[in-house]
Every structure is written in C-alpha cells, then in structure tokens.
Amino acid sequence: MNKTLKRIILISLFGLFIIIGGITIFYAQGYRFDTATLSIQKVGAIFIKTIPGEAQVTLDGEPVDKSYWLFNSGKLIQGLFPKNYEIVVSQPNYLTAKLTILVLPTLVSELSHVLLIPDKNEIIASDAHQAESALSKDFPLVKTANQILYFSGSKIGKYEPVAVSNDGTKILVSNKANLYFVKKDRDGLVNISTSTLTLYPKDATYLFNENEEQILSYTANKIYIIQERAKPALIYSASSTIETLTVNSRRIAWLEKRNLEQMIIVYNKTNNKIDVFPIAEEVKISKLKWQANDRLLIEDENGDTYSYSPGSSGLNKIGSQTLFTKDSPDSKKIATVGKDRLEIFMENGKYLRTEITSLGLPEKIVWHQDSGHLIYKAGGKIYLIDIDTPIVENFQLIGTADNFWYDSSEDSIYLLHSANLEKIKLSN
C-alpha cells in the first residue's frame, strides 16, 4: 500500500470519526433529525402517571410501549419533537381521558396524575333534594321525600343537620328530643351516638371546634364553647358585631367593626390569648377562612381575594373580581374563578390561567384531596381539571347535575341529578 492511499484512508477514518463523534454529541445533547420538517431540532419528553396505574396510554394514536415505564411509577416518553401531542388514557370501566400537551425542547412536560373517572355511578337515594340548610352548600346533605337525611352516601334518619366538621367525617344532627354525633369512616360506614351537648344559644351558628369533641357557637356578639356534660362556656363577648368566623385546630378568627375601624380578632385556644389586628378600611372583608399553613384567606365585598398572616404588615392581594376562591388541601395553591377565567396561584410563584367563557356561567369549584385536580361546575356540567394542563380542551366531562359535592374522606363525588343522589368512587 503506497503512502498516498494510506493518507487517504487515514484522512477518511479521521473524517468519519469527526462525523460520528459530532452526531453522538448532538444526540447526547438532545438533537434529532425531524423527517417531517427536514431539520435538526432539540427534543423533549413527556412524563405521565395514571390512576389507575395499569391504564393504557396512546400518543398520537400509537400505543406507548411498556419499555417507557419508569420505576413502575409512571411512563417517560423521550425523543419527542417540539409540538402538541394528543394523549389518550383508557381503562375498562372508566371514562376515557383525552389530553393535549405541548412538548418543548430539552424539557419534560408532566402529566403526573391523570385521574380516570369510573363510567358507572352508584344510586344512593331516589326522590332526593338538597337539604334546606346552609351546610348543604359545602357538604353532601340530601333529604328524600319522606325527610330521611343522607350524609354523603350514608342514610342517617329523620334528623336536621346542625354542624359538620371541616374534613367531612363528623356531623352533629338533631331531632325533636336529642342531639347525636355521627362519625363516618373512609368506607362511608357511620356510627351514631347520643350527645349530651346542650345547644346554646338557640339562635346561634354552630361549628365543630376542630380536632375536639366540642361545638363552637356564636351569635352577633358572643362566642361559646359547648362540651359534653358541661355548661356552655362564654369565651368572648364583643362590643360590636361578629360578622364572619373561622376555626382551625389551634385558633379562632373573626371580623369585627368598631366605629370606622375593622379588625381581625384571633383567639388562641391553647392559652386563651386574644390578639387584635386592624385592617385597612378600603378592604371591606366579607369572609375569612383558615388555610392549613395558619394563614387566612380573605374575600372582600368586591370579589377581591387576599392572603393574610396574622400580625404581618398588610394583606397580600391574590385575585380580583372573583366568584369563587378555594385553597388546596396542601395550602400550596389557590384557585380563583371569575366570569371568564380560571386562575391558579402556586406557592412556588408559578401562575396558570385559562379562559372558561365557552363553558357557561361558573357555578362551583372544589379541590380534590391530591391538590392536583379541581372539580368544576359550569353550565350544568361537571368537569375534572388536571392542573398540569388546565386548558378547556383538557377538562374531563364527568356528567350533568343540579349540584355536586366532593367528599375527601371517601374520595368520592356526589351528584344530585334528576332527584337522584349518585356516587362516583374515585379510588379503591
């Protein structure tokens, strides 16, 4: 072999090495050749986790191969060119979920909790109507034509609801003679026991004193703790009107207006200490609610929403002109609904917004216990919203109903539809 041929072979091998090395480096950095556009592009990926976990997944009509499973906790689909993809998730005895997700270069787009809805509802009661109680706005309290009270899926009897715990596992009911505690487990089984509580005053509003077998009662200017086998104990007497009140496991907070000044009063149940926090008059507070992180969620008369840590210098405005405001169970997210928009504010600063005008007038919104889904009613229809992809096209239609409730203690949705109380059990 002469020197010229050797040189040609050496140069060719070196050139081949450079080409293969370059291709390898580009491949490792996420570049691929897109035959559709005849261009080199960086690719991304989709991570998807389904509930139930054995659900079938297709990507643009093609089944996702089992090799994409990642540690049995989800599927990581790699090597995807930047564009919108259609994900279809199906499983026998469940409604099929169709989702559109955008893949961006070098990033992993997440569908970390795709929750499938069972396709059959359990009929709990017929000839039913919503109980005539303010409690039935937030809790599944339904009566039949013969006045039998149902609490979620449990038949209680001919009683009137008095108070419900925040977690929906306890309810205080009454008949003409006695009071009764009703406790419910995750399977919906109930235990009814006679209570020795004495409701006082008769015209008061009653709340569970959270984490305790006590009832909190309040009137326009007095607050009482009511315990078993004891006289009601007056814990506070106001010189002005108590306008809204909220309670958690450690503290009670309420609003008072004295002369031209409005104040949030906080009562510490551990040491009976009372703190007073003046609030600027321009924020006309209409509702208070404790969050799990000991901050107060505040709504004003204009539909504006604020977050407030008692003792801090001011209110943190979250949303404007909202119809509904709900904080997530983990207190890391707040969802607000206006006439034309759904907004989600997250603790990490992330913000999501979607236009909802096409669905009709908003009627109700509730967080699922996983803090990753919302259950939403508009135009008479109920939807499940995955906050990973909160666009209208991805809202899963659950069904139509006159009203709905979500019971986190059972992980069930209750629908009141055509005088039927129906139950959808989301998890086993």
* Mean per-residue pLDDT pooled into runs of 10, the chain (428 residues): 63 60 50 55 86 89 71 77 93 94 89 91 92 88 93 89 88 85 77 84 87 83 88 91 90 88 91 90 88 88 91 87 92 92 90 94 95 95 94 94 92 93 88
3-state secondary structure (DSSP) of residue 184: strand
pLDDT in the model for residue 331 = 86
pLDDT in the model for residue 39 = 57
3-state secondary structure (DSSP) of residue 106: coil
DSSP class of residue 401? Answer: -
3-state secondary structure (DSSP) of residue 28: helix
DSSP class of residue 14? Answer: H
DSSP class of residue 69? Answer: B
- Smallest Cα–Cα separation from 110: which of 412, 315, 331, 372? 372
| Contact predicate 303/320, CB 8 Å | yes
Longest dimension (CA), the chain: 114
Tokens encoding 409: 């203690």
Q: CB atoms < 10 A from the CB of 212, how many?
A: 12
Q: Which helix (H) or strand (E) holds 22?
A: helix 3-28
Alpha carbon 154 to chain centroid, angstroms: 23
Alpha carbon 204 to chain centroid, angstroms: 30
User: Which residues on adjacent β-strands are paired with residue 210?
Assistant: none
pLDDT in the model for residue 281 = 74
Tokens encoding 148: 């039998």
Fold for the domain defined by 43-115: Immunoglobulin-like (2.60.40)
DSSP class of residue 137? Answer: G
Question: pTM for the full model?
Answer: 0.85
What 276-283 contacts at long range (C-beta under 8 Å, 24+ apart), as own/partner pairs, is: 277/310, 277/311, 279/315, 280/314, 280/315, 283/315
| Interatomic CA distance for residues 86 and 63, integer angstroms | 12
| Interatomic CA distance for residues 331 and 343, integer angstroms | 15
